[in-house]
């Protein structure tokens, strides 16, 4: 029996010359996914069929729709974002790939904003061929922040054993320190704290904050940001009922496994957070944009032009991004229900406390 109350998940196709559509076909080709959600692919018939022919072992079917709010819950849906013929060149970085990646993303994201989708999973794009005067963004995250008109968002990497958030994202190393301000750190901590509660179901999140400089500045000997900016930000965040600690020296923090003691880690810049995440994360990592009213996830990798069109792409991270999108949709509903019914929240807290006391006694 088809459950029409399943979440509707939009899938943007990413660069049409990358691995995005291969990932999508391999993921939604498993019909068991239809028991969990209703997928809507934002691309075109012709481009989707191009990749379907290169994956003959996958039994993949779809239903074409003209309105993203009127979906077929019995099948995978395709919303045609364009009708014209497009030359697909797997593995090639060109303007065509960027143009249609942006068209797919913009169409899908607008559907998310309008409430026609319950969540959005984005396939990888390449910044080189998507950035333009019309699309003046360095990636998905700043674009979605602008579209949803929110003051700030957080790029949050999620795996089974760790969550790593970033203060700065795609910023040149020489410019990073200019973005490390008390206001920015507090803003990221507030968004992260709220997301951990609402989107991941953690009542009292515990957050670690990393330093910017080697050895977290060595008390001002190797940079002053820790003493002048990061510590005051942590102190103020605690006054806002955010359970955060630090700043920690990044190398020792990850090497000694201290991340296992926290619900999330706030890194100061991209590689400080992403290198240990991709090295130490267990299971399939995904990227989540915290702070939006809509829900967006993505795999934790890029377009992989080197294997595009060769049936070599591993869809595990993309599949996990869909699963996590569904989990967050359900977590938000549960959070909303608990706050509508305070007795339910009190009951859940009572059960949790009783469990903790039992464990302590044992």
Q: For the segment 67-111, what is each residue's pLDDT rounded down to a tens digit?
A: 887 899 999 999 999 999 999 999 999 999 999 999 999 999 999
- At 70 the pLDDT is 87
Q: Which CATH superfamily is domain 1-150+292-313 in?
A: Isopropylmalate Dehydrogenase (3.40.718.10)
Mean pLDDT rounded to a whole number for the chain: 92
Domain ranges of the chain: 1-150+292-313, 151-286
Judged by average pLDDT, the poorest of 132-146, 170-184, 210-224, 236-250 is 210-224
Report whether pLDDT(343) > 70.
Answer: no
Cβ neighbours of residue 164 closer than 8 Å, sequence gap 6 or more: 156, 157, 259, 264, 265, 267, 273, 274, 276, 277
Residues 51-78 have a mean pLDDT of 90
Same-fold call for 1-150+292-313 versus 151-286? yes
In terms of Cα–Cα distance, which of 324, 323, 318 is closest to 300?
Answer: 318
Q: In CATH, what number does 151-286 get?
A: 3.40.718.10
Phi and psi at residue 40, in whole multiples of 5°?
-125, 115
- At 358 the pLDDT is 41
């Amino acid at each position: 029996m088809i459950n029409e109350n399943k979440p509707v998940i939009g899938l943007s196709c990413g660069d049409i010359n990358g691995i995005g559509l291969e990932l999508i076909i391999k993921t939604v080709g498993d019909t068991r996914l239809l028991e969990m959600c209703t997928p809507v692919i934002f691309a075109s018939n012709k481009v989707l069929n191009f990749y379907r022919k290169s994956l003959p072992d996958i039994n993949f079917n779809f239903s074409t729709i003209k309105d993203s709010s009127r979906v077929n819950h019995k099948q995978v849906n395709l919303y045609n974002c364009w009708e014209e013929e497009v030359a697909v060149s797997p593995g090639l970085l060109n303007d065509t790939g960027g143009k249609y990646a942006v068209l797919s993303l913009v169409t899908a994201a607008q559907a998310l904003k309008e409430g026609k989708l319950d969540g959005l999973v984005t396939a990888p794009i390449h910044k080189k061929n998507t950035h333009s005067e019309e699309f003046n963004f360095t990636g998905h995250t700043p674009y979605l922040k602008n579209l949803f008109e929110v003051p700030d968002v957080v790029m949050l990497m999620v795996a089974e054993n760790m969550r790593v958030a970033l203060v700065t994202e795609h910023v040149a190393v020489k410019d990073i320190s200019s973005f490390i301000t008390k206001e920015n750190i507090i803003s990221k901590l507030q968004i992260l704290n709220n997301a951990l509660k609402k989107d991941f179901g953690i009542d009292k999140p515990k957050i670690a904050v990393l330093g910017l400089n080697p050895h977290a500045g060595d008390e001002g000997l190797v940079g002053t940001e820790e003493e002048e900016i990061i510590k005051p930000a942590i102190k103020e965040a605690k006054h806002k009922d955010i359970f955060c600690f630090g700043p920690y020296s990044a190398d020792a923090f990850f090497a000694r496994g201290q991340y296992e003691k926290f619900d999330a880690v706030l890194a100061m810049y991209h590689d400080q957070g992403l290198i240990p995440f991709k090295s130490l994360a267990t299971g399939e990592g995904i990227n989540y944009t915290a702070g939006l009213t809509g829900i967006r996830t993505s795999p934790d990798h890029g377009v992989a032009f080197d294997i595009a069109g060769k049936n070599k792409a591993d869809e595990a991270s993309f599949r996990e991004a869909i699963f996590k999108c569904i989990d967050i949709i359900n977590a938000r509903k549960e959070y909303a229900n608990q706050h509508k019914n305070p007795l339910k929240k009190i009951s859940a807290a009572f059960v949790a406390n009783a469990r903790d006391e039992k464990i302590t006694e044992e």
